[in-house]
Structure 1
């Protein structure tokens, strides 16, 4: 081939290479993987989570959900050999987690950075690497070698002038003390949250009921529990979540021994077995005495209950949830299209229990409570369907310590006025009404009396402007029929041989009567009583519970269903159960799901029931039931929306 021909061929090849390639079919992007549930619990000592966060903890581990436990202190107490005792407690924790996960007790022990050159011990279960334990090994409250109350002193030293060294357990992977001041503890927790990206965070009780555990002078709980939870909440405020901030579940601690417990027999076996695996390594514990009492009881400090979603005037649905320091808001149009969550900061730290009340005109009202219990935060959606940015602030009834005020419940009386009820700081019940419907102008609080009232009230409308208020003490369910003006006297509502092991939940039935449902200490059994429109109590009905903790949910469906009430509860694994009747022929239908705390139930105009739950992966889940041949048939849980969360100011 001549040189000229070669040059021509080369030129053609160059030109061809400069031309655009032929069009290609676009390569579809793979769908985004669904979010994954990730649990993190932060506790003061090895064994706190095992004792106080079960059966939720064990059920989640058995379901294979990723779980990281963070232990703030070494739990070394003030024994003769603190390094050995701390190591034994940590070995007990590893044994218990392996038992709960039904896996060999075989762990990879390493270290993990927790900020500014500090490291902590990290244990990873070899059979399931999604199960991890982190030990910061801060000094225990009773450790006199470092000065007693080290964590309390750190937590209260906001100037950062105090530094303490971590302890060094025998044969630990961190062989040198790590220095911590207050900021370093918060930074360590924030770093761990950023690393493990939890969708659910479990905490201990930082506002214990001061009527109980009087031996713990000043705090009514172990001070490490209280201060550790406070520091953890501060770290959560600094943590930047991927999307929706994590759901926070707070568990009561020692004072579960002072109130009736509502665990089922199966749940008790679960918690006993988990603690027995731990206790075999801790010579200062036992499976009897008070430890047996603690392992047989479990309770949320601020349960969500079931009033966080409601239908609005346009036939849509509004749902709200406090997520760490944000308010999440989901909306559903009348045509069934969901959007959200829209995220907005809360005006101040809030407790997780919200109530969304539906008025006769259909303008929902949102009621929340400040974290310190001293204020109620209220706002009403306007007639255009917009939530105003401002909250109305109402003081709760006066008391020496507002943190002891319980969360509010509310309803709309048959005059159209909002009515709120709560346990006051003195341990009684107080109610407050709107002066004029639709104004958010209020009459003063009325004290209904009562003593030893437990957190969680329920209020439903009666006739002629009256409302029915229900509460429990440690022995009884109590009822007040409160007229338009003035107070009322309490009456006992007999529930048989059991004692109430949670708050009562009341609802107005289709016949105009009132039903009240409560969990009891008889293996988690539920008991229901009906108050007829004529004011008489009918025979009581009982239904064994499916396990788990938390209060039930009652809702009255539309006229197209056979059932006059739907009862909803959740077991320790997050599965939702529904019962349409109560009595000898009643049963629970297991709807499955992985729902945190209690779902909400919305009665639709067409007679269907929409259950709404917050999944442990952070997604809003819905499940719709319609009348079948014999009972409601549910379609199954599915995400309400798939769009990423947004941020709009009017939601907050």
Structure 2
């Protein structure tokens, strides 16, 4: 990450870039025919532009990967030299900072084995493995950073390589002072894709973490891309390489997770104090080596972590026969699982009409169990029920600001679908009595963030809850200002049962969760208490007469709160767990793991213990 060649953010500096068509963000990529990984095959690969991007935008996820004991490798595309006079020395210092931060995350001495690494096309890179944890490795390609005017062709080296895929443009790498390589390597755009694809073939990752290839256009800086060009291009190159890698034979399933970058500074702090301090401490090790990595923005980034399109917690639902079904996006496909007694099995789902974002919403409508998603190629909604996929269009066609869907049913079984629209409000589309979807209605609202929660209201009509930067909004035939005021750290989750409606809200900056319950038309006094300890939104479900909250723990596992106290139940979620009640009345917690499998843990009775995690074959 680099704020600008002089170390200050060029807030409105225009870039003379021809913006390539944005690649779809494949948050759970992979060929559905590729087998899930075994536990021994799990491997994490990060591809980032600069030496601190992983620390600022992907932590605490990277930290959890480092501490997991599985193989982990981070590839840094640029030398990060910017406009520094001693480009080679400054790049070497940033490398030292990255190594120091990873050693601290691993809790071992900052001692590494370095070597020159042979790459495709006769190129070389610098590779370092942590002596006390040799499964942790860092690879530095050392391509010119965007702000360096000394690169062949001037500034914007990665952007030029991306635009020119015919091999007419090439740039040479830098040679950091005292490093592992003595001569530069020459890259074209296609050459960089081949290098990354070959790295993937050799490393065989099951998780690929990237930056944001298509940033939210609401962020007003770093135009025209709305983020640092190197961030965007590193993500696009990584995803292009992943598409090539997925054609490799005998590879395990690959999950791709994209992370928001600069624009998270405008979002509420969604890490609790303990995780903030941990992340700041890891970045502090890096800062000792980078004289330019200081200022208020670095502090804001260190208190947040946001996925570009997160999975959410509404990806499981109950079919008309009572069985639970779960869904996940994998490349251009949606994969499914269904409950079969005490086990789960794969369930075939036909391919949707376009690539989808990770955030799926599942409900039961006129056409049976229905899964809905947001298309990445045209920003529209699509849903599948027993009759197949059908496109619903969009309230704002072609606008990247349209969010992922939330669904809830009317009392008569008709579904309503809600999204955050491009105006920062909420829009809705509903089924008629025959299950046909109608036209979009704008419900209004302002400053709504992506990640809505919809449930049936007391009158049988769906209502929706949404987070803004400073409050939680409720719509039920109109906007209701009576919900208790709280600054949310992320999306609220609403649970409706016979006793009323409970809304669970992660509280900004504190790590707490707030609960409020509506019975008889009035909200209870909000109750704030400790949160799960990890990042992101919780899941919630009504089970055995109580609302149970499920979230990520501070150690990266899963934790539940069924009686006012959190209890860890283990597991290794790739992002956010979900929860549901099965036909036998048992509470089921579900997650998608870094092995690409669905994992479930079951609590048979209230107050009982959760059983061991079971992985779907």
Q: Which residue of 1 aligns with 2:475?
A: 480
Query: For 1:75, what is the secondary structure of its paired residue?
Result: coil
* Partner Cα separation in structure 2 for residue 243 and residue 343 of structure 1: 22
Quote the offset at 1:43 in angstroms: 0.8
Displacement of 1:337 in angstroms is 3.8
1:96 is the counterpart of 2:86: no
Q: Which residue of 1 aligns with 2:483?
A: 493
Q: Secondary structure at the match of 2:122?
A: coil
3-state DSSP of counterpart to 1:109: strand
TM-score, normalising length from structure 1? 0.84
2:244 equivalent to 1:238 = yes
Cα shift readout 1:509-531 (whole Å, capped 9, x = no counterpart): 231x2221111114211111222
Q: CA deviation at 1:311?
A: 2.4
Q: Does 1:220 align with 2:211?
A: no
| CA separation of 1:465 and 1:313: change in aligned 2, threshold 3 A | closer
Identify which of 550, 566, 573 aligns with 2:548: 566
Q: Is the CA contact (8 Å cut-off) linking 2:323 and 2:583 kept in structure 1?
A: no
Could you tell me how far 1:476 is from its partner in structure 2? 0.8
CA distance in 2, matches of 1:429, 1:490: 14
Secondary structure (helix, strand or coil) at the match of 1:402 reads coil
Rounded to whole Å, the distance in 1 between the matches of 2:452 and 2:541 is 16
Whole-angstrom CA distance in 2 between matches of 1:428 and 1:375: 16
Shift of 1:113: 3.1
Cα distance between partner residues in 2 of 1:301 and 1:109: 33
SS of the residue corresponding to residue 141 of structure 1 reads coil
Q: Distance in 1 between matches of 2:509 and 2:140?
A: 37
- Say which SS state the counterpart of residue 550 (structure 1) adopts: coil
- Cα distance change on mapping 1:572 and 1:405 into 2, 3 Å: farther
Per the TM alignment, residue 419 of structure 1 is displaced from its structure 2 partner at its CA by 0.7
Residue 124 of structure 1 corresponds to 129
State the distance in 1 between where 2:117 and 2:448 align.
Answer: 45
Change (3 A) 1:49 1:572: farther
Number of the residue aligned with 1:506: 494
Is 1:539 matched up with 2:511?
Answer: no
Distance (whole Å) between structure 2 residues aligned to residue 33 and residue 506 of structure 1: 35
**In structure 1, the residue corresponding to 2:236 is in which secondary structure?**
helix
Secondary structure class of the residue paired with 1:612: strand
The equivalent of 1:293 in structure 2 is: 300
Q: 1:341 to 1:246 in 2, by over 3 A?
A: farther
Contact 1:141 1:151 in 2 (8 A): yes
Moved over 6 A (4+): none
Q: Against the structure 1 CA distance between its residues 324 and 69, is the aligned structure 2 distance closer, same or farther, given a 3 Å change threshold? A: farther
Go from structure 1 to structure 2 and tell me whether the alpha carbon gap of 1:492 and 1:154 turns closer, same or farther (over 3 Å shift): farther
Q: Indicate conservation of the 8 Å contact 1:450/1:490, yes or no.
A: no
Query: Are 1:352 and 2:358 matched, yes or no?
Result: yes
> Which residue number corresponds to residue 447 of structure 1?
442
Runs of 5+ consecutive residues of structure 1 not aligned to the other structure: 1-31, 383-387, 483-487, 642-652
Aligned residue for 2:558?
Answer: 576
Corresponding residue for 2:593? 615
- Measured in 2, the distance between the counterparts of 1:80 and 1:345 equals 52
- The 1-side partners of 2:40 and 2:332 are apart by 21
Instruction: Call closer, same or farther: CA 1:493–1:463 in 2, change over 3 Å.
Output: closer
1:297: Cα distance to partner?
A: 1.7
Structure 1 residue 587 corresponds to structure 2 residue 565: yes
Aligned to 2:507: 520
**Cα shift at 1:572:** 4.6
How does 1:139-538 map onto structure 2 within 5 Å? 139-146=144-151, 147-212=154-219, 214-240=220-246, 242=250, 245-286=253-294, 289-333=296-340, 335-340=341-346, 347-359=353-365, 363-372=368-377, 374-381=379-386, 388=388, 391-398=389-396, 402-437=399-434, 439=435, 441-482=436-477, 488-491=478-481, 493-496=483-486, 499-511=487-499, 513-532=500-519, 534-538=520-524
Distance, in Å, in 1 between the alignment partners of 2:312 and 2:611 is 23
Over residues 315-371 of structure 1, what are the superposed CA-to-partner deviations in whole Å (9 max), with x where a residue is unaligned? 3332221124443222222x334223758765433211112223488x211111112
Secondary structure at the residue paired with 2:463?
Answer: strand
Q: CA deviation at 1:465?
A: 4.3
Residues 161, 347 of structure 1: CA spacing in aligned structure 2 closer, same or farther, 3 A cutoff?
A: farther
Distance of aligned partners of 1:185 and 1:142 in 2 relative to their CA distance in 1, 3 Å threshold: same
Q: Which has the higher contact order (CA 8 A, sep 6+)?
A: 2
CA contact (8 A) 1:58 1:270 kept: no
1:358 is paired with a residue of what secondary structure?
strand
- 2:80 aligned residue: 75
Provide the C-alpha distance between the structure 2 equivalents of 1:132 and 1:324, rounded to a whole number of angstroms: 27
* C-alpha distance in structure 1 between counterparts of 2:382 and 2:442, whole Å: 20
Residue 13 of structure 2 is matched in structure 1 by: none
Report the CA distance shift for 1:182/1:490 in structure 2 as closer, same or farther (over 3 A): farther
CA contact (8 A) 1:546 1:577 kept: yes
